[in-house]
Structure 1
Amino acid sequence: MAPPAGAADTLPPETPWLTLTSDERGRVLRLSGAWRLAHLVPIEGALAGVAGVPAVVDGSALTELDSAAGLVLLRALGEAEPGFIGFAPAHARILAALRARRIEPLPAPERRSNPLSRLGRRGVDVGALLLGHLQFFGRLMAAFGELLRAPRRLRMRELVVQIEQSGLDAVPVVMLVSALIGVVFTYLLGLQAEKYGANIFVVDGVGIGATRELVPIIVAVIVAGRSGAAFAAQLGAMRLAEEIDAIRTLGLSPDQVLVVPRVLALMLVLPLLVFAGDAAALAGSLAIARPMLDLGPTAFLTRLREALELRHVLIGLGKAPVFALAIALIGTRMGMTVGRDTRAVGLATTSTVVQAIVAVIVLDAIAAVLLQGLDW
């Protein structure tokens, strides 16, 4: 049963900011007092005590109204459109401006989740990332299958350019870093070997450790930071400029034009870079062997030939194409799927380097376990 016309709903006496009445127009919300920012907390409390949406809002008793209080009023009304009457011209203009802007309330701050839920979300994100890489790997294998059926589809010019950029241009830095690794590794082993008069066995450790493990990982990390990042940045910029869409419009496959030459080039040049790194690491070790270990070149090379079996070198070289496939796959996939803004290109490039380095280390660990099981 509706209350009689003019009857006021009971409100706490400590909230003088509004009165809710009913008449022939329906429920009328009468505002009073100075609705300003300084009184926002009690005003919000008074509005929270009003049940239902009024049909009319009467502002004839308002003495002041600023935008903050007006915004609180409009948010309390929600999507409803009651009639606004009795407002002074200045107050009406404020409400009209706020209603025209349609200012939405700020989202509530996200509740901090516990470590277990955060770990679960990270796990889901990593799983989605790995699934995306697996799907892209399937596309890449399909593209290689098409290339085997029609070798003329291979873009030789693009392949040669990528071989030069990923391989030849990387030789100086690879050889420099590998030579320094050989020097440092020899120095560290020599410090311990000298205590027991076992200087000659440093050659064994440097030869096997560098060719089988150290140099392939170091070279792959260099290539990941150099070529992997370049792939992501180049393809990301092309996607941003809609060049990839233009390739599709011409009826060509972006995988054949852009992805296959980069992956194939990196798989071809990385074993060569690892071989150059092996030579540089052994040369660096040889250079410091005489002053550090009192081993001349003849004694060093003779011991190296006795200790370093060919299988260790081949294992290191065999890892290179696998590392190259992982680096190129991650780099091209991140570039082909990057968001269409410059910030996303930067994030994709950084993510490519991190993912590629992690992938190289994981693959090397898997290879070490498998080879140990095979007694290789």
Structure 2
Amino acid sequence: MTQPPHPGPHGSLAAPDVRGDVIDHGEHLSIRGDWVLGHYARLKADTDRFLADRQGQRKAGDLSELGRVDTAGAALIAELLGPDALAQLADQAPDLAEEKRALLHAVAATLANRSEPQRSTTNPIVAILMAAGQRTEQLFELLRLLLGFIGQTLAALAYNLPRPSRWRVTSFVAAVQDTGLNALPIVALLTFLVGAVVAFLGATVLEDFGATIYTVNLVAFSFLREFGVLLAAILLAGRTASSFTAHIGAMKVNEELDAIRTLGLNPIDLLVLPRVLAMMVSLPILTFVGMISGMVGGAAVCALALDISPSQFIAILERDIALKHLLVGLGKAPIFAFLIAVIGCLEGFKVSGSAQSVGEHTTSSVVQSIFMVILLDSIAALLFMEMGW
């Protein structure tokens, strides 16, 4: 790796090349010349070749002939000698400049603290339990943040509702149009199709018992109590919660939230409350539309396949279906709407400042919203069943 003298550009004998090299003296290595970024490619190739020849074995070093050195060169010297040996050698070199000594110490400490990948020897059962514990801890942390944000939202709502001058009417109306009116066609279409499917499947099963007339009861019960609110909530969780997260997350990436706080405004009052209130208004309306559309789809199947006329369908609804089933379904809608909106806004505030983070938290908001909606709906179904509602 030595570089002999060579003629200069005018034929005179020039000084040796300042590119760094290493001389093997048997018991130790002599580090010479300039180890800087400009020579990094050649120095890296020489270092790799030297370590390959020595099969990765490291020897003691001598830094007395070391010229200029920067971070890239110091990293190569640490790779050649070892981080610990480099730090010790830098202390023992009397002629080494203080700035070079500090640089070599910093690079050696950084490389020594860098953890190298190790093969895991953990018992698989222990690894599964550790992973489960970490997931549980993350879940509790998520619930803690969600409860805290719900508390902040409720406190802001209680403070602003008695003060009409603080109401954001324009933002509220725009959010109602986005979350309610624009979602109306897809909710109506989806619930109509699901109602038709439920009626068809119910008729197919009940036909074996000669009880196809009860298809009307099946469709009415399922949509008034469960499907109407559940389908509307899941659609809004995928459509609107993700929109809330992406909007607020993009504002955080662009530092607009910091600008809002600098102006003395509260982002919760400005961004969260209009969305939460709009969702609590929109979801009950969409739920009612979903109930009607689902029963219309069931009535269409009954009229086409079971010879149950629409007038007979409505008569059975009036006779057998109590008003409490409609109220149970509509009563769950504001709670679901509040949770969907809060989760969507919270995930937007949790964005860390990159486009990737926006995408991750948008996905997380949809998953969390749908999970919470289904979980609460299951709990409510068990509770109402036990109460005889």
Query: Under TM normalisation by the shorter chain, which class is it?
Result: 0.7 to 0.9
Residue 85 of structure 2: aligned partner:
77
- Paired AA for residue 119 in structure 1: A
- Per-residue CA deviation, residues 286-308 of structure 1 (Å, 9 max, x unaligned), is 11112222212122121122222
Residue 286 of structure 1: aligned partner:
299
Return the alpha-carbon distance in structure 2 between the equivalents of residues 35 and 335 of structure 1: 50
**What CA RMSD, in Å, does the superposition of the two structures yield over aligned residues?**
3.1
1:188-207 superposed matches below 5 A: 188-207=201-220
- Structure 1 length normalisation: TM-score? 0.80
Residue 10 of structure 2: aligned partner:
none
Residue 318 of structure 2: aligned partner:
305
Residue 48 of structure 2: aligned partner:
37
Return the alpha-carbon distance in structure 2 between the equivalents of residues 251 and 336 of structure 1: 18
Q: Judge which range, 353-362 or 188-197, deviates more.
A: 188-197
Residue 225 of structure 1: aligned partner:
238
- Paired AA for residue 311 in structure 1: K
Measure how far apart 1:338 and its partner are: 1.2
Residue 130 of structure 2: aligned partner:
117
Measure how far apart 1:78 and its partner are: 4.7
1:233-244 superposed matches below 5 A: 233-244=246-257
Measure how far apart 1:71 and its partner are: 2.0
- Structure 2 length normalisation: TM-score? 0.77
Measure how far apart 1:151 and its partner are: 2.6
Return the alpha-carbon distance in structure 2 between the equivalents of residues 237 and 40 of structure 1: 49
Change (3 A) 1:307 1:38: farther
Measure how far apart 1:110 and its partner are: 6.4
Identity %: 35
Measure how far apart 1:215 and its partner are: 1.5
Return the alpha-carbon distance in structure 1 between the equivalents of residues 133 and 86 of structure 2: 36
Measure how far apart 1:372 and its partner are: 1.6
Return the alpha-carbon distance in structure 2 between the equivalents of residues 268 and 287 of structure 1: 29
Return the alpha-carbon distance in structure 2 between the equivalents of residues 136 and 288 of structure 1: 45
- Paired AA for residue 359 in structure 1: M
Measure how far apart 1:101 and its partner are: 10
Q: Confirm or deny that 1:358 pairs with 2:374.
A: no
Residue 185 of structure 1: aligned partner:
198
Return the alpha-carbon distance in structure 2 between the equivalents of residues 117 and 110 of structure 1: 18
Task: Name the SS for the 2:161 alignment partner.
Answer: helix
Residue 116 of structure 2: aligned partner:
108
Q: Confirm or deny that 1:176 pairs with 2:184.
A: no
Q: Confirm or deny that 1:212 pairs with 2:225.
A: yes
Return the alpha-carbon distance in structure 2 between the equivalents of residues 224 and 341 of structure 1: 23
Task: Tell whether the 8 Å contact from 1:244 to 1:254 is kept in structure 2 after alignment.
Answer: yes
Change (3 A) 1:321 1:18: farther
Residue 139 of structure 1: aligned partner:
152
- Paired AA for residue 334 in structure 1: E
- Paired AA for residue 214 in structure 1: F
Return the alpha-carbon distance in structure 1 between the equivalents of residues 222 and 50 of structure 2: 74
Task: Tell whether the 8 Å contact from 1:17 to 1:46 is kept in structure 2 after alignment.
Answer: no
Task: Name the SS for the 1:108 alignment partner.
Answer: coil
Measure how far apart 1:311 and its partner are: 0.6
Residue 6 of structure 1: aligned partner:
none
Q: Confirm or deny that 1:245 pairs with 2:262.
A: no
- Per-residue CA deviation, residues 174-203 of structure 1 (Å, 9 max, x unaligned), is 000000110111111111011121110011
Return the alpha-carbon distance in structure 1 between the equivalents of residues 272 and 236 of structure 2: 17
Task: Tell whether the 8 Å contact from 1:59 to 1:84 is kept in structure 2 after alignment.
Answer: no
Change (3 A) 1:194 1:254: same
Task: Tell whether the 8 Å contact from 1:233 to 1:335 is kept in structure 2 after alignment.
Answer: yes
Structure 1 runs not aligned, ≥5 long: 1-15, 20-28, 86-94
